[in-house]
A and B are shown apart, each in its own frame.
Chain A
Amino acid sequence: MATAEMVAGGIVPGISYRGLAGGAAIARVAQVSKNYGPTQALREVDFTIHAGEVVALLGPNGAGKSTLVRLLLGLATPTSGRVTVFGGDPKDPGSRERVGAMLQVGGVPATMRVREHIDLFSSYYPRPLPMADVVEMAGLQGIEKRQFGELSGGQKQRVLFALALCGDPDLLFLDEPTVGLDVEARRGFWDQIRKLVARGKTVLLTTHYLEEADALADRVVVINKGSIVAEGTPESLKASTAGKKIRCVTQLPLGSIERMAGVVSTRYDREAVEIQTASAESTLRELLAADRELFGLEVSNAGIEETFLALTK
Chain B
Amino acid sequence: MSSTVAVAPVKWSRPLLKTVEIYWKESKYEFFKRWRMPVYSLSVILFPAMFYTLFGLILNRDLSGGHKEAATYLLATMGCYGVIGVALFGFGVGVAMERGQGWLEVKRASPMPISAYFTGRVGMCLVFSFLVFLTLFTLGTLLGGVRLAPTQLLGLMATLVLGSIPFCAFGLVIGYFTKPNSAPSIVNMLYLPLSFLSGLWMPIGVLPGFLQKIALALPPYHLGQLALHVVGFESRGDVHTHINVLIGFTLICLGVAMLGFRRDEGKMYG
List residues of A whose CB falls within 8 A of some B CB.
36, 41, 66-67, 70, 73-77, 86-88, 92-94, 96-97, 99, 101, 103-109, 111-112, 116, 119-121, 123-126, 147, 160, 163, 167, 173
The answer to the question of B98 belonging to the interface, with a C-beta cut-off of 8 Å to chain A, is yes
Contact between A75 and B103, CB atoms less than 8 A apart: no
Q: Are B268 and A124 in contact (CB under 8 A)?
A: no
* A111 CA / B124 CA spacing, docked (Å): 15
Is A111 in contact with B37, judged by CB distance below 8 angstroms? yes
User: Which of B28-36, B50-58, B130-138 is found at the contact surface with chain A?
Assistant: B28-36
Nearest-CB residue, chain A, relative to B26: A120
Closest to B5 in A: A24
CB of A92 within 8 A of CB of B12, answer yes
Of all A-B residue pairs in the complex, the 9 with the closest CB atoms, nearest first, are A107-B101, A87-B7, A94-B12, A106-B101, A111-B36, A96-B111, A105-B102, A101-B109, A73-B109
Q: A123 touching B108 by the CB < 8 A rule? A: no
Question: Nearest chain A CB to B12's CB is how many angstroms away?
Answer: 4
B61 beta carbon closer than 8 Å to chain A? no
* A75-B102 contact, Cβ under 8 Å, with A36-B268, A147-B36: no
Question: Does B18 make an interface contact (CB < 8 A)?
Answer: yes
CA distance A189 to B267 in the complex (A): 30
B residues 37-76 in Cβ contact with A at 8 Å: 37
B111 touching A167, Cβ below 8 Å: yes
B105 in complex: contacting residue of A92, A96, A97, A105, CB < 8 Å:
A105
- Choose from B32, B266, B270 the contact partner of A104 (Cβ within 8 Å): B270
Residues of chain A within 8 A (CB-CB) of B98 are 107, 109
Within 8 Å by CB of A120, from B14, B25, B108, B269, lies B25
- The interface residues of chain B lying within 8 Å CB-to-CB of A107 are 97-98, 101-103, 180
**B255 interface hit (Cβ, 8 Å):** no
Please, how many angstroms separate the alpha-carbon atoms of A133 and B35 in the complex?
29
Inside 8 A of A67's CB, which chain B residues have their CB?
Answer: 268
Contact present for B26 and A126 (CB under 8 Å): no
CA of A217 to CA of B111, assembled, Å? 27
CB distance from A257 to the nearest CB of B (A): 45
Given contacts A77-B266, A88-B9, A103-B106, contact A119 B25 (CB under 8 A): yes
Q: How far is the CB of A123 from chain B (nearest CB, A)?
A: 5
Q: Is B108 within 8 A of A75, CB to CB?
A: yes
